[in-house]
Amino acid sequence: MADICGIRKIAAVARVTANLHTRRRPVGRFLVLDCRRNGDSDLTRMSARAERILQPPVGESRWALRIIALAIAGIFLLTLYPFRLDLHAHPAAHSPFLLEGWGKKVTVLDAFLNVLLFVPYGFGLAALLRKKISSGATIAVSLAAGVALSYSIEFSQLFIPERESSFKDVLTNSTGALVGCIIFLLAGPPLLRFLQKVEPRVEVLSTIRNASILLACYFFGWFIVSGHLEKQTALQDWYPDSQLLLGPYAHDWSNESWKGHISLLELWDQALPDDIAARLTSSGSPLPGDDIPVAVYGFSGSAPFVDLRHNLPDLNWQRRKTQLTVSPATTWDGASWLASDGPAPRLVNAIRKSGRFSVHLRFTPSEANADVDANLVMLSDQTGALDLEIRQISSTLTFWFRDPISPVPRRLEWSVPLALEANRQSDVLFSYDGSKLWLLMDGKLIYDGYRLGPGTILAALIKHPDIQELRGYEYVFYGLVFFPSGCLLGLLWRNLQHSLLHLLAATAVGIILPSALLEAVLVHVGNQPMSPSNVCLAILMSALGWIWINLEGAVPASLSGTFQSRAR
């Protein structure tokens, strides 16, 4: 029996060697080593692996499909986020098929990025069409497909309130598809042939040992980069000598300050849990054990208004110097506001240390018409440099705070339209946990799409971040980190010579462990809390990379051998 097994081994090695001489594939030494390592029971698996490795390289069309799939996914993510359609968002003033005309302001950088976005799409489409039609027809079809896809996206953006659509975007996007097609016609075939040759060689080298070393080095580098980016989201540039102001002028040239009445202001150096925030903005009554604020001001009676926590200076009425001869102010009448008697370093330093804050404000505006533009709450130093601003513009409530990527007001300022009504009390609470900012109004969650993290800092290196795209930057960042690692795990999956249980265990460790470790790094370096949604996003990106590299339906060699033995 042993002689028969030896003969079978020799025959297998001879068959592999013959294939190697015929196809000149440099994988013989791996297979011979496998023959020496594996026992007789593994011979079938070894043969299956050999036959699969010696298959002709992946075709150009397969890589073209991969490129197109990746390009379309990226286009949809970057152009349709946040994926919320409102069929009533488009005004009925003109036909939606005319989009919003040509009026959208597009900078040179925006135009370049729009072109770049569609280059992979045109490249992959040309790769699919090259062998079927002429070069001229390939250019025409790629351009037409770029126009069709871009117009469809711009049409969809009409019904996404956070987006703007324009024929300028259609022009730049379709230009990108054309550029991608031309790049393929000039240099595409050699690139695809290179990818064909590299993939099987990488697959052969994708052993557990090699993949573990490579992934460890890969993620170690990303952990360092991510930690550095996360540090840049800290609120370390707030001014300790800032004063607290309530109801001041929004601009030096403004004619009026805020009008109305503020009944309560509470400030924390931490984010409040949802249940406490909802209770404070609905019933208004804190319960024993609730988080204690840094400062509490009530505005019944006359000035000065004292901080009930005795941490911040008293608040007194102020007027412009030109109005000092007018009778003393007693309310927010459009010419008066409250200001602290001195800086509030205890509050600012506490927020800088924690990297978190919450602001609870109960107020009633006297007006909500188009002429209103005034601040409700400000933290500002003597020079006018701002740390935080809550503002009323008409019936819109806006919020801004200083961070490394929005060092000046109006950048990354976000708005809640139609939030305010004249002579109606509003109870609002803004809370920031070091990564996410959200707003509760009258006990209801109004907005929670504000995100700061490594992805936002990374995007700021290329362009000014858009307030509506902050969550999208987070998707892109996790895709950059975990999609390539998922591809490597996909190649490892094909090449493993173990049972299905071992395959699943190795894949789970390679996907879940790095996802959890990155989140732990961000929590340790920055001020954000642990986010299960970010861990799930990282796992999803790894899984997408695994699926993308195995679009042709490859299966592990061990399973392939099992199937073949059962078939026999």
Is 322 found in the same domain as 308?
yes
Q: Are 113 and 57 contacting, i.e. CB atoms less than 8 angstroms apart?
A: no
Question: Average pLDDT of each block of 10 consecutive residues along the chain (568 residues)?
Answer: 46 43 39 43 49 46 85 87 67 64 75 92 90 88 94 86 81 94 91 84 77 90 93 88 90 82 93 87 68 90 90 90 56 89 93 93 92 91 90 93 83 85 93 90 81 89 82 90 91 69 75 92 85 91 90 55 45
- Give yes or no: residues 170 and 77 share one domain: yes
Locate 414 and state its tokens. Answer: 């976000």
Calpha distance 9→42 (Å, rounded): 11
Please check whether residue 119 lies inside any domain of the structure: yes
Q: Does 17 map to a domain?
A: yes
Q: How far apart are CA 81 and CA 84, in angstroms?
A: 8
- Considering the domain architecture, whether residues 435 and 482 belong to the same structural domain is answered as no
- Which CATH number does the domain housing residue 324 bear? 2.60.120
What per-residue confidence (pLDDT) applies to 84? 72
Domain contains 558:
no
- Residue 10: the pLDDT is 44
Tell me, yes or no, whether 14 and 86 share the same domain: no
Together in a domain, 302 and 406: yes
β-partners of residue 336 are 319
Predicted confidence at residue 94, as pLDDT, reads 62
The first and second tokens of residue 240, run together, are 């300790």
Q: Report pLDDT for 87.
A: 67
The answer to the question of residue 561 being in a domain is no
Residue 73 buriedness (CB in 10 A; 0-12 / 13-18 / 19+): middle
Closest CA to 98 of 146, 176, 165: 165
CA contacts within 13 A on the Cβ side of 260: 28
Query: What is the C-alpha to C-alpha distance for residues 30 and 37, in angstroms, rounded to an integer?
Result: 10
Domain boundary, last residue among 403, 420, 450: 450
Evaluate whether residue 121 is within a structural domain.
yes
Q: What is the 3-state secondary structure (H, E, C) of 461-509?
A: CCCCCCHHHHHHHHHHHHHHHHHHHHHHHHHHHHHCCCCHHHHHHHHHH
Backbone angles phi, psi at 155, to 5 degrees: -65, -40
567 in any annotated domain:
no
At residue 110, the pLDDT reads 84
Same domain, 395 and 536: no
Instruction: Say what the pLDDT of residue 51 is.
Output: 46
**CA–CA dist 378, 321 (Å, integer):** 20
Burial class (CB in 10 A: 0-12, 13-18, 19+), 9: middle
Write down which residue in 53, 73, 89 finishes a domain.
53
Is residue 516 classed exposed, middle or buried when 0-12, 13-18 and 19+ CB atoms within 10 A define those classes?
middle
Question: Which amino acid type is present at position 368?
Answer: A
Q: Assess whether 540 and 415 both reside in one domain.
A: no
Residue 443 lies in a domain: yes
Verify cis geometry, omega within 30 degrees of 0, for the bond prior to 328: no
pLDDT at 446: 81
What's this model's pTM, rounded to 2 decimal places?
Answer: 0.77
- Looking at residue 359, its pLDDT comes to 95
Q: Is the domain of 272 the same as that of 282?
A: yes
Q: Is residue 170 part of a domain?
A: yes
The three-class DSSP label of residue 299 is: coil
Distance separating alpha carbons of residues 112 and 110, to the nearest angstrom: 5
Count of structural domains within the chain:
4
Q: Which residue bears the tokens 């080095």?
A: 217
Please indicate, yes or no, whether residues 312 and 414 belong to a single structural domain of this protein: yes
Last residue of a domain, one of 156, 187, 204: 204
The Cα–Cα gap between 487 and 195 comes to 14
Dist. CA 213–CA 449, nearest whole Å? 37
Whether 445 and 488 share a structural domain = no
Can you give the pLDDT at residue 220? 95
pLDDT of residue 34: 43
The domain in which residue 542 lies consists of 206-233+465-552
Supply the angle between the helices 28-37 and 2-23 in degrees, to the nearest 10.
170
Question: What's the one-letter identity of residue 177?
Answer: A
Residue 90: what pLDDT? 56
Same domain, 320 and 422: yes
Q: Do 348 and 320 sit in the same domain of this protein?
A: yes
Burial of 374 (0-12, 13-18, 19+ CB in 10 A): buried
